[in-house]
Amino acid sequence: MSFESFADFLAMGKHGLYVWTAYGISLAVLALNVALPILARRRYLQDEARRLRRESKQ
Amino acid sequence: MNWTWFHKLGSPKWFYDISGRWLPWLSVAAALLLAVGTVWGLAFAPPDYQQGNSFRIIYIHVPAAILAQSCYIMLAVAGVVGLVWKMKLADVALQCAAPIGAWMTFVALLTGAVWGKPTWGAWWVWDARLTAMLILLFLYFGVIALGQSISNRDSAAKACAVLAIVGVVNIPIIKYSVDWWNTLHQPATFKVTEKPAMPAEMWVPLLIMVIGFYCFFAVVLLLRMRLEVLKRESRASWVKAEVERSL
């Protein structure tokens, strides 16, 4: 461990704001990249299932 | 060498099945590597003797930048495969990788700016390395826009493949920009021929993060590609079976 305490860890010397901004935004981008295709897949499968059901009725 | 796997990639169903089997393992690997690398880099690696703790941004900046460039090389390789062997999956890979590459370039530029402020005193300088990375971002935008603006799928695939192949000239420019020009940007962290200039407790977590970012890229790429394959093959009976199974 290279920090004395948790407050010390949050402060990151004088660079806390920079380090946490960089990590925070990067985490948000990575999470968005995972969420978008998963949500798109769910929506597409729902739409396709509805379409198939409608066509099988005709 | 056995090339059977390459010929099998001609079958979208084969790709869909095999990628479905790989996905859970890759996801676990990506999550574990990124978690271990982040905690190690943020809390356990020693601070830099000049930059203090701001250097910890390296653990996302360098992996994102490496991935942004590797992803563009992948786009060009997919372009060649698509043009030469007319493989449909190559265009799927190209179209799906481009947005991820653009996001990675964005992360590299953004973390670079946030790291540059305390280190150089400026968010942005028109430095050779930074400018070349910005051009990479615009190349990704170009590929994405071109792929969406041409309605004929085959023409769009050809145009994107050509742009990806031509644009790859920017990759060696990014790589050697720190050697060719006087720049503020520091030289490469990892070299094939030499040991890293930093101690092991600093570069081992960085290496873990780089591998973790590659696994993450593979996961997101497969997620996107599997959806795109379903859309393009929507009339095939196996896709209908897959849709019904998801109900």
Question: Could you tell me the residue ranges of all domains in chain B?
Answer: 24-45+56-189+196-227
Residue B2 Cα, gap to closest chain A Cα (Å): 33
The answer to whether residues B231 and A40 touch, using CB atoms and an 8 Å cutoff, is no
* Residue B185: how many other CB atoms lie within 10 Å: 17
Please give the angle made by the CA atoms of B178, A26 and B16, to the nearest 5 degrees.
100
Helices within chain B (DSSP H only): 4-8, 12-39, 58-85, 88-120, 128-149, 153-167, 170-180, 200-232, 237-245
- Identify the pLDDT of residue B67: 97
Contacts of A22 in chain B (CB under 8 A): 57, 60-61, 110-111, 114-115
The reply to whether residue A44 touches residue B227, judged by beta carbons under 8 angstroms, is: yes
* Residue B84: how many other CB atoms lie within 10 Å: 10
Q: How far is CA B212 from CA B32, B33, B100, B244, in A?
A: 8, 5, 15, 34
Report, as an integer, the average pLDDT of B150-176: 94
Complex confidence, ipTM: 0.91
Which amino acid is it at A5?
S
Contacts of A48 in chain B (CB under 8 A): 230, 234, 243
Q: What is the CA radius of gyration of chain A?
A: 23
Please give the angle made by the CA atoms of B146, B82 and B227, to the nearest 5 degrees.
70
Say whether pLDDT at B112 is over 80: yes
Contacts of A43 in chain B (CB under 8 A): none
| Residue B163: closest CA among B144, B176, B184, B185 | B144
Which amino acid is it at A38?
I
The residues of B whose Cβ lies within 8 A of any Cβ of A are 34, 38, 42-47, 52-54, 56-57, 60-61, 64, 100, 103, 106-107, 110-111, 114-115, 117-118, 216, 219-220, 223-224, 226-227, 230-231, 234, 240, 243-244, 246-247
pLDDT digits (tens, 9 = 90+) for B217-244: 999 999 999 999 999 998 899 999 888 8
The reply to whether residue B223 touches residue A19, judged by beta carbons under 8 angstroms, is: no
The reply to whether residue B114 touches residue A21, judged by beta carbons under 8 angstroms, is: yes
DSSP SS3 for B51: coil
pLDDT digits (tens, 9 = 90+) for A5-54: 888 888 888 888 999 999 999 999 999 999 999 999 999 999 999 988 88
DSSP B89-130: HHHHHHHHHHHHHHHHHHHHHHHHHHHHHHHHS-S----HHH
- Identify the pLDDT of residue A1: 77
Residue B80 Cα, gap to closest chain A Cα (Å): 26
The answer to whether residues B65 and B103 touch, using CB atoms and an 8 Å cutoff, is no
Question: Which residue do the tokens 């079958």 mark?
Answer: B11
Q: Please state, in angstroms and rounded to a whole number, the distance separating the CA atoms of residues B9 and B11.
A: 5
Which of A34-38, B51-55, B162-166, B167-171 shows the lowest per-residue confidence on average (mean pLDDT)?
Answer: B51-55
Which residues, in sequence order, are CB contacts of A20 under 8 Å at separation 6+? A10, A12
How would CATH label the architecture of B24-45+56-189+196-227? Up-down Bundle (1.20)
| Residue of A12, A18, A32 with shortest CB distance to B115 | A18
Closest CA in chain B for residue A22? B111
**A32: enclosing H helix or E strand:** helix A16-57
Which amino acid is it at B55?
F
Q: What would the two tokens of residue B20 be?
A: 């479905």
| Residue of A25, A30, A40 with shortest CB distance to B216 | A30
